């Protein structure tokens, strides 16, 4: 299993504990502080319960920047949103095409509002087909960014999904929990303890190929990228307990 520091565990616990509408937005400030970021923004594009008429945002940006962004209609040309919608993996803002004058204007003016010139965007695919994005920003130098980016990618692929599920839970969308079979849950429980497919096969008395099938079915139901992501989502839905 991946070893993470105390701040990761602390953030996950706090996200799971949020129960009141609005508290989740406040917790984004804590996430930003704990990870030394400039800002974080959650953006839901396709969630019937949250976006019947307009898109849903939870963010730490300055209000003045949000108003300026809307007034300038940056929404229609923002390459962050386009790249996030087209990717399954985290998007590093350094690779975005910024050649268009309007896009150069957007990123240039963003610095006047302390948005942060480095960024990562994490696509979120929910269990019932809903889609959202989590973006995090910083003002790190190129050297600092190259040294810390891998940590952010590792942690926020999981944190993004916990934030998504917290928003769904507290903003009126309900709990979108998939149903797993007893065998799927059993395999996930052992996987959370760091067991390989071969280990799990021996422990529960089935073929390794059957274990792989159960894990793949769980991954699809939980809309996860890999085993680590599947386990994290199962824990967030309280389908399995965190490893002791």
The Cα–Cα gap between 99 and 226 comes to 34
Q: Would you give the DSSP letter of residue 111?
A: G
* Most confident of the ranges 38-52, 95-109, 207-221: 95-109
Tokens representing residue 88 in the block: 């399954």
Determine the average pLDDT of the residues in 3-29: 81
Highest-scoring range by mean pLDDT, 87-91, 224-228, 229-233: 87-91
- The whole-number pLDDT of residue 25 equals 74
Q: Which DSSP symbol is given to 104?
A: H
Using an 8 Å Cβ cutoff, are 118 and 137 in contact? yes
Q: How confident is the model at residue 153 (pLDDT cuts 50, 70, 90)?
A: very high
pLDDT at 143: 95
Least confidently predicted of 33-37, 133-137, 166-170: 166-170
Given a contact cutoff of 8 angstroms between Cβ atoms, the answer to whether 204 and 188 are in contact is no
- pLDDT at position 5 is 78
Beta bridge partners of 149: none
For 69-89, what is the HEC assignment?
A: HHHCCHHHCCHHHHHHHHCCC
Percent of the chain past pLDDT 90, that is, above it, reads 61
| Distance from C-alpha of 8 to C-alpha of 2, rounded to nearest angstrom | 12
pLDDT band, very low/low/confident/very high, at 236 (cuts 50, 70, 90):
confident
Distance of CA 64 to the CA centre of its chain: 26
């Amino acid at each position: 299993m991946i070893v993470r520091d105390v701040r990761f565990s602390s953030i996950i616990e706090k996200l799971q504990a949020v129960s009141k509408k609005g508290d989740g937005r406040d917790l984004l400030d804590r996430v930003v502080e704990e990870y030394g970021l400039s800002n974080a923004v959650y953006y839901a594009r396709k969630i019937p319960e949250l976006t019947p008429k307009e898109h849903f945002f939870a963010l730490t940006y300055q209000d003045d920047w949000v108003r300026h962004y809307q007034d300038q209609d940056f929404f229609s040309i923002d390459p962050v949103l386009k790249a996030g919608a087209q990717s399954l993996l985290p998007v590093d803002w350094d690779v975005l095409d910024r050649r268009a004058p309007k896009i150069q204007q957007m990123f240039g003016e963003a610095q006047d509002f302390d948005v942060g010139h480095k960024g990562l965007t994490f696509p979120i695919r929910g269990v019932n087909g809903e889609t959202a994005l989590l973006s995090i920003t910083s003002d790190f130098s190129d050297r600092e960014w190259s040294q810390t980016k891998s940590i952010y990618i590792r942690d926020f692929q999981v944190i993004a999904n916990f934030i998504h599920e917290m928003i769904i839970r507290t903003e009126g969308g309900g709990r979108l929990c998939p149903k797993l079979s007893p065998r799927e849950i059993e395999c996930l429980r052992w996987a959370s303890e760091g067991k390989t497919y071969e280990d799990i096969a021996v422990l529960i008395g089935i073929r390794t190929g059957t274990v792989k099938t159960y894990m793949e079915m769980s991954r699809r139901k939980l809309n996860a990228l890999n085993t680590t992501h599947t386990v994290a989502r199962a824990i967030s839905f309280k389908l399995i307990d965190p490893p002791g």
